[in-house]
Structure 1
């Protein structure tokens, strides 16, 4: 029969499924994204550049504070060192050490007072000095800025006892206290016995107070750490942070890194850290600021950026929906109309409310369907009715065959409260009946037919345990998936295998579905290992297929056999044999797509094939 509808119109049927990416709607969306994405990318890049710039400026500021504070401490330390070196050769202290036994009581008293006044001057020269002591070893006495001369050497001398081995001023950490000291004569005159030592105890509370004022940020602070002797001076109580910073500086010291800037994590918090080592005294000054405090404004801008992103996304979705309503939806309605025309339903489409190009297209489409209806009615309607009537009659014999048992299975599953199986069974059942009852073309892709058969098997798997009956599907030869075949040609034979071959089999039931190419034909076979098939039954079935006898128990098989002959020709159809597993083997012979020559066109008339 000649094709009444242009080939280009028929091809619209596959656009929504296989060529969706080539349609107008996704192209418009992609074009819109190509416009929006660079703008958004530039905004994101500008925000990132701004964030990096702020980070860099904040890091420079933190480093500058560390440099300034460390320089201040070094100035104070240099002052203390110079005072110790200056008073190490003070005449009063030397007289007290060398000639005190020749002094009168009055002279001795005045000498001690002058020494104490000088020690007090040293103490008052810096806020970071807690106490200044002169340990006179020749007298075994100590004169300090806070106390008069003692009868014995002050126990604090133990902290600086090793200073005599040094040349100049030494730093000592003893019992959580920090000292600076110088000995006379020290190592400058190794053969001369040590006579006295001057020591300064650093006021760590004042250092802590100074560290508290280091930064204006909340929860920020600074620390002084000497990785060599473990001395740590901190103004906060977070032991985890102190340990993290201490361990980090130990590693830094081992790597001989004197200064730097880094972001570290301590507990659940993140900190920006700047540090620098005093080359004169060996300790590190490290300042830390919580990332949330330093980058608080940046985080706000980041939140605004995310808000902008969300608004942009909403705008894009709204724009896409608007395009969908404006273009995609009318196109989809028009394609649906073409599908209906292809299926033989010449129904006019309602005109859209908008007065645009689509309204004009819908009007012309309705005019086209009216003309086609007239043409079909006048020339081909009777012949189409005759062929369609026969095919529908044959198909209708199969459709209700599976209906009787399914609802009893569903009833049984629901009564057992097996909700999961009810859901799965209902889904497969819906797909099954949707396939066999849908109003569309009688021809379907072979892939769809095989998928329907698999759905049927899933339904039966719920009815029969998989250990009782197993079904194996072979691979379809390449290029056969899109082949158009009559609907419901494979599933009826699987149903027959269940119903007549394996239904009474309690275990080890097996069905094998194979698909092979042979002599330019596609052979699809369904074989079971049932034990009920007798030779007499097999001969009866073969005779009915040859003679196409009247209605018998195997009506479904004759149905498929008849429809394949109508669709493809007399050389194709159904054959039955006894399979290698002992049961029935049904083979469907179909033409390979390349040998069809009309796979994409409508079926030929019976006259063209000599039917």
Structure 2
């Protein structure tokens, strides 16, 4: 039952309306989403190109500045004043030493002022164990900063060093060019990280965007405003990249609850990466808003579609529901007209036609019912008129023979049975009789046949009628024709041991009355022909009485009842009458309303 209800619900108009609207609207929104995705993809590509070009341009500027600083260091690494201070300071007078130190400091200041990214310049004179700086006069001892660049003496040319979060460039003299000689002095430049940070701040025009320099190997990071989470993610990303991957690229990373577009490029001179990052919301925020608006529009449209479909459903549901209820009443046999709707629309026309249909059905049903009654009466009259002349001749011949033998008792008994028999089949009273009366008539017929045939030749056994079935009203002459067929077509030619059994049992709410004989004349072909006649109806059939009973039972009780035949256990034919069991005491009898009668077209009998 639940499955049926679910199936019926799935076939209602409401889901069909929603599906129809969605089929129309879905392609439009699909195209809109596709356009949004294509636009987002195009914007992402353009932004990636813009970020990459900015990174490339700024890193090239840094490389130019680095090359300039390295060139200055290489130029002043062979400066004569620094060499004099390192080699012949002991031969100088105080005045000459002072002038030499001053000139060296002026040159260091010149180097510093030549490039905004230089914070300080120092000359570490190892022979004197003293340092001359652009920011300070000559010291009494080697500056601690020398520790950052001490290993430069092993290199040829300029070296780059990261020391305590500071970036240095340095060159030694004579350096590795003369391996047998120790370095006499080292020129070093400290990079001005503050100036580089200021340059990084001007890198991007987006809000919360920025740039940073990261050396993933030694952990040096120069950042203007990135948070710790993003810095950590970028460092891990660069550190874990495959060794054979490109030195520049574009990626999207997540840090905390934020997502960033990142462009990076490696500096071959220093080994650090220049990284530009922009929050995704700043780059594609508008597109995300458009997407959200599109989804919002989709949900609103869906809600509108459902509401509109429900309104249409209600608009047609009420009259349609009333019409369905009217049809169900018609199915139940209640031909009631429905009140017309107030609106003069299509449903008004349908209700009008429905009322006309119910009126016509009432007329047709009444006519069909009357035709059923007429057919039932005429068939009964036909059966009553089918008094077998052979049977009539035999009865008169038996009376003649008994009278001649002066067997008056048998004549009296035979006349009584014969009179009751003809009175029952010829009377024009009610067409329906109690089942007891029908069985009594059949017994009278059997008594007549017993007088005709010797009891030792043919015996007839009647079982007991189930309790409560005697008063059941049935059409007249439904049992005797089957007993007559058993005599005539089954055992009339048997010389001895002929037997007819009439059994009455209850099974599955039905009363089954069976007439079975042990005749030997029934062939399989005859049995199949009788079964086919009972099922498919036909005209001019031999077993007129049997087919007549079958059709009258179906007219009276419905297509589920009637007559069926089969080969019985005794070898002859077994005809079974299927009748409804009468209602138990206290329950109402079945309705005799014309609408409760089965349609004669449903009957399968002949």
Give the TM-score range, shorter chain. Answer: 0.5 to 0.7
Task: Show structure 1 runs of 5+ residues with no match.
Answer: 1-13, 385-543, 551-560, 572-595
**2:84 aligns to what?**
95
**2:509 is matched with which residue: 565, 568, 578?**
565
How far off its partner does 1:24 sit?
6.7
1:168 aligns with 2:112: no
3-state secondary structure, aligned to 1:130: strand
Per-residue deviation, residues 380-407 of structure 1 (Å, max 9, x unmatched): 49999xxxxxxxxxxxxxxxxxxxxxxx
3-state secondary structure, aligned to 1:252: coil
Distance (whole Å) between structure 2 residues aligned to residue 61 and residue 215 of structure 1: 10
1:604 aligns with 2:559: yes
**2:336 aligns to what?**
347
Alignment of 1:384-403 (within 5 A): none
How far off its partner does 1:230 sit?
1.3
Distance (whole Å) between structure 2 residues aligned to residue 381 and residue 238 of structure 1: 98
How far off its partner does 1:332 sit?
4.2
How far off its partner does 1:199 sit?
0.2
**2:130 aligns to what?**
141
1:208 aligns with 2:197: yes
- The answer to which of 187-196 and 352-361 deviates more is 352-361
CA, structure 1 residues 54+18, in 2 after alignment: closer, same or farther (shift >3 Å)? same
CA, structure 1 residues 157+56, in 2 after alignment: closer, same or farther (shift >3 Å)? same
Distance (whole Å) between structure 2 residues aligned to residue 116 and residue 207 of structure 1: 25
**2:269 is matched with which residue: 269, 275, 280?**
280
How far off its partner does 1:103 sit?
2.6
Per-residue deviation, residues 368-389 of structure 1 (Å, max 9, x unmatched): 11222233345449999xxxxx
**1:313 aligns to what?**
302
Q: 1:25–1:327: 8 Å Cα contact kept in structure 2?
A: no
1:266 aligns with 2:210: no
How far off its partner does 1:129 sit?
1.1
CA, structure 1 residues 334+16, in 2 after alignment: closer, same or farther (shift >3 Å)? farther
1:47 aligns with 2:36: yes
How far off its partner does 1:360 sit?
1.7
**2:281 is matched with which residue: 288, 292, 297?**
292
How far off its partner does 1:22 sit?
6.6
**2:45 aligns to what?**
56
Per-residue deviation, residues 133-175 of structure 1 (Å, max 9, x unmatched): 0111122111110011112111111110000111111111112
How far off its partner does 1:111 sit?
1.7
Alignment of 1:151-550 (within 5 A): 151-236=140-225, 238-252=227-241, 254-327=243-316, 330-377=319-366, 379-380=368-369, 547=467
Q: 2:466–2:506: 8 Å Cα contact kept in structure 1?
A: no
CA, structure 1 residues 337+279, in 2 after alignment: closer, same or farther (shift >3 Å)? farther
CA, structure 1 residues 237+325, in 2 after alignment: closer, same or farther (shift >3 Å)? closer
Q: 1:15–1:23: 8 Å Cα contact kept in structure 2?
A: no
3-state secondary structure, aligned to 1:155: coil
Distance (whole Å) between structure 2 residues aligned to residue 271 and residue 383 of structure 1: 89
How far off its partner does 1:33 sit?
2.7
**2:107 aligns to what?**
118
- The answer to which of 307-316 and 180-189 deviates more is 307-316
- The answer to which of 41-50 and 288-297 deviates more is 288-297
Distance (whole Å) between structure 1 residues aligned to residue 136 and residue 346 of structure 2: 105
Alignment of 1:6-25 (within 5 A): 18=7
CA, structure 1 residues 15+298, in 2 after alignment: closer, same or farther (shift >3 Å)? same
CA, structure 1 residues 548+96, in 2 after alignment: closer, same or farther (shift >3 Å)? farther
How far off its partner does 1:18 sit?
4.3
How far off its partner does 1:115 sit?
1.0
Q: 1:131–1:202: 8 Å Cα contact kept in structure 2?
A: yes
Number of paired residues? Answer: 401
How far off its partner does 1:282 sit?
0.5
**1:447 aligns to what?**
none
Distance (whole Å) between structure 1 residues aligned to residue 127 and residue 41 of structure 2: 64
3-state secondary structure, aligned to 1:77: helix
Distance (whole Å) between structure 2 residues aligned to residue 122 and residue 60 of structure 1: 37
**Higher Cα radius of gyration:** 2
Task: Show structure 2 runs of 5+ residues with no match.
Answer: 374-463, 471-504, 514-534, 537-556, 564-576, 580-606
CA, structure 1 residues 562+125, in 2 after alignment: closer, same or farther (shift >3 Å)? farther
Distance (whole Å) between structure 2 residues aligned to residue 372 and residue 15 of structure 1: 29
Distance (whole Å) between structure 2 residues aligned to residue 76 and residue 371 of structure 1: 106
**2:478 aligns to what?**
none
Q: 2:161–2:168: 8 Å Cα contact kept in structure 1?
A: yes
